[in-house]
Chain A
Amino acid sequence: MGDTLQIILNVLRQAWGALTLFIVSAAALAMLAKTLSTVGASSIGARFMVWESLATIAAVVILVLVAFVGIPPIVRAVAMSIPGAPGCGPITELGTFASGLIAAIAGVRMMLAIARTIGGAAIGGTAEVSQALIEVVEALFGMLLAGVAIPLIAMFFTGGCTHYQLPRSGNPFWAMPTH
């Protein structure tokens, strides 16, 4: 299970790296696209469009800073709060597997939300900062809830570590208390 976890984590790390590269390219293209929009709008005298384009450029820069400076510490902090080996008995391995993956999946999901928004701006759309941040917070809360759920599930299935005993049928999900 540990090897499987490491393989999946490696894939997620590569996905993280790919998303960061994509964000860099998309941010540069988005700023250039909005510069084109600004030049065109100022040529025809469309002031609202000029301000909208400049605001989108600022939004892209803000989103990139949130993604590169804000998300990694958040993922690290919440990952440390998730128990590493909750419960005991057979459920421990599953719990360790899940707790190792939660932070990685949530981190990649947050970067994906930012990358999608900046990618939309790169092809001429608007960068909706609020929508991107809502998805980031959703991923964060999902991670926190999953982190709380793992110990509860472990306790439910095992009935507490010191009182764990496999029944004669060998089914680990029906642990019986020893007293």
Chain B
Amino acid sequence: MFFVFAPNVLSSVMDKAVMAGLLLSDGGGGIFGPILDQITGYARDLWGVFVGLIIIAATLGMIVAVLRGAGGMLIGGSKETTVALISVVGIVLLVVVAFVAIPQLAKMITDLKPAAPF
């Protein structure tokens, strides 16, 4: 059940992150505008690829952790089971923190963008 809705939740967080203006081009850049538009387009695509890969890697990682935990339970190893549960929670936390913190960090970096000092 968890593995069914987790990718959808993470995908919606990704959509919000992109819509938050992270990689929206403001049309600036002057003579470098066309190049910047190309690079921004590729960056947007790459962002989507990375988010998809993170969701896949996180889902697989959680499955592997659950497998380890099940194996530990099979042989009566409580430590293995505990480590597996902690791994699952850790992966979920890592991914959620990354998906929430990285767009905010990028917004902060965008606000810090300096004008040319010459």
- Whether A14 contacts B30 by the Cβ 8 Å rule is yes
Most buried by B among A10, A11, A22, A79: A22
Does A116 interact with chain B (Cβ within 8 Å)? no
How many A-B contacts at CB < 8 Å in the complex? 135
Does A145 interact with chain B (Cβ within 8 Å)? no
Does B19 interact with chain A (Cβ within 8 Å)? no
Assuming the contacts A13-B118, A20-B114, asked whether A39 and B29 have C-beta atoms less than 8 A apart, the reply is no
A18 and B110 alpha carbons, distance in the complex (Å): 13
Does B73 interact with chain A (Cβ within 8 Å)? no
- Whether A32 contacts B109 by the Cβ 8 Å rule is no
- Give min CB distance, A153 to chain B, whole Å: 21
- Chain B residues positioned under 8 Å from A91 (CB to CB): none
Question: Nearest B residue to A38 by beta-carbon distance?
Answer: B94
Does A167 interact with chain B (Cβ within 8 Å)? no
- Whether B117 contacts A72 by the Cβ 8 Å rule is yes
- Chain B residues positioned under 8 Å from A11 (CB to CB): 30-31
- Chain A residues positioned under 8 Å from B61 (CB to CB): 39-40, 42-43
- Whether B23 contacts A17 by the Cβ 8 Å rule is no
- Chain A residues positioned under 8 Å from B109 (CB to CB): 23-24, 27-28, 64, 68
Segment of B1-9, B34-42, B74-82 in the binding face:
B34-42
- Whether B58 contacts A39 by the Cβ 8 Å rule is yes
Number of chain B residues whose Cβ lies closer than 8 Å to a Cβ of chain A: 44
- Whether A32 contacts B50 by the Cβ 8 Å rule is yes
Does B70 interact with chain A (Cβ within 8 Å)? no
Does A12 interact with chain B (Cβ within 8 Å)? yes
- Whether A22 contacts B91 by the Cβ 8 Å rule is no
- Whether B112 contacts A14 by the Cβ 8 Å rule is no
Query: Which residues of B in the span 49-68 have a Cβ within 8 Å of any Cβ on A?
Result: 50-51, 53-54, 57-58, 60-61, 64-65
A17 and B28 alpha carbons, distance in the complex (Å): 8
Beyond contacts A39-B95, A100-B118: 18 other A-B pairs, Cβ-Cβ < 8 A, are A12-B118, A14-B29, A17-B29, A18-B30, A21-B40, A25-B39, A27-B106, A31-B106, A32-B50, A32-B102, A35-B50, A39-B61, A39-B94, A43-B64, A69-B114, A71-B114, A72-B115, A107-B117
Please give me the 5 A-B residue pairs with the lowest Cβ-Cβ distance, nearest first. Answer: A43-B61, A14-B30, A18-B32, A28-B106, A35-B98
